[in-house]
Chains A and B, each alone.
Chain A
Amino acid sequence: MAPMKVYGWLVSPWMAKVLLCLEEAGVDYQVVPLSLSDGDHRRPEHLARNPFGQIPVLEDGDLTLYQSHAIARYILGKHKPELLGLGEGGGVEESAMVDMWLEVEPHQYEAAMKPIVWHCIVHQHVGLDRDQAVVDECVRKLKRVLEVYEARLSSAAGSGSPGPSRYIAGGGRVSLADLSHLPLMHYFAATEYAGVLDAYPRVRAWWEALRARPSVKKVMAAMPTDFGFGSGSSP
């Protein structure tokens, strides 16, 4: 069986989400590196894979998929449905909790965190100014979001389960909802705003526990926190 192929650049947080799924699922895969600066994602051969001209893209035999969460769901649905709250021991309620926090991640968490990372780390290398007003507003928003996460991680995991929840979807086991937060957190923790997490000890503990997973260590090892700009290896 031919391994799945993933097209993109390793420093992308959305590429990383897909690689985390492949690692957790333990399946064979091949990364096809593309170059952002050479505009590989805008070339006809890539637009044929993803008409929106973005990465990551997954090829599995005849099937070509894009949008990182769609790719992630496919990989896990095929090889590790427990990470979607389905499969063995899962069900409609657990999968709904996973789906819910998978929506919160882009709409609340990424919306606040991504601009901080981009303005503080990326902009200086791509000829864009850092807009401190944007950063300040996003830090304010992020604190409100992290308050919700802190409360979530402090409450009981589910019916009959004592103690706080180690995992964001609360099913007592790790899910894609947890994993999807990690790549951006990896970069945020390298900004001058990392100390924001000090006020949210359960969030910090959740991040520290997840980053110790072998899959996470392996994928993050290929993601320098300066996006490779410092070593001249940016995509």
Chain B
Amino acid sequence: MEKGKGAIGSTGRRWAVDFSDNSTSRDILDPPGFSRASLDQDDSTLSRQKKDAESNWKSQKAWEVAQAPFKNLLMMGFMMWMAGNTVHLFSIGITFSALWQPISALQSVGKMFEPYKDAKVELLGPKLLFIALNLGGMALGVWKLNSLGLLPTHTSDWVSSLAPAQEVEYSGGGLNFS
């Protein structure tokens, strides 16, 4: 709500001063005692420091994001244990969400680490960890599926759909009409 109002304000108002715009070509003179040069000068050292801090922060954050599925994994494991090994609505729901979550996470692995993308930040490590953890989650899901007996890992799952074999011979007969 508040954001919306602000947006309406920025376009609807008659005039506005943008303090962040520090380009020199402007009508209004700089206030007395304000030196634009000095500002430009320590901006570079300050920004380097800032960038370092930011990349540190980013890589830290990236690792955090990469580790996030671990909690999920534990949670899922607990839920699965709770659901038991019988096929019913609850256990099937949990199993399928356990399978779906890692898949959707893996699909958006690039998007996930987008905010932490930086030339200096090494994202491969976190990404690999993230993928590994998610694969682990998926494995857990598949294991659960199997333990529910929903994976065709037994001969019985394959034989049931086979039609009975044809017989070569035909024999009829029996008692005579009486």
Whether chain B is bound by chain A comes out as: no
Give chain B's interface residues, CB within 8 Å of chain A: none
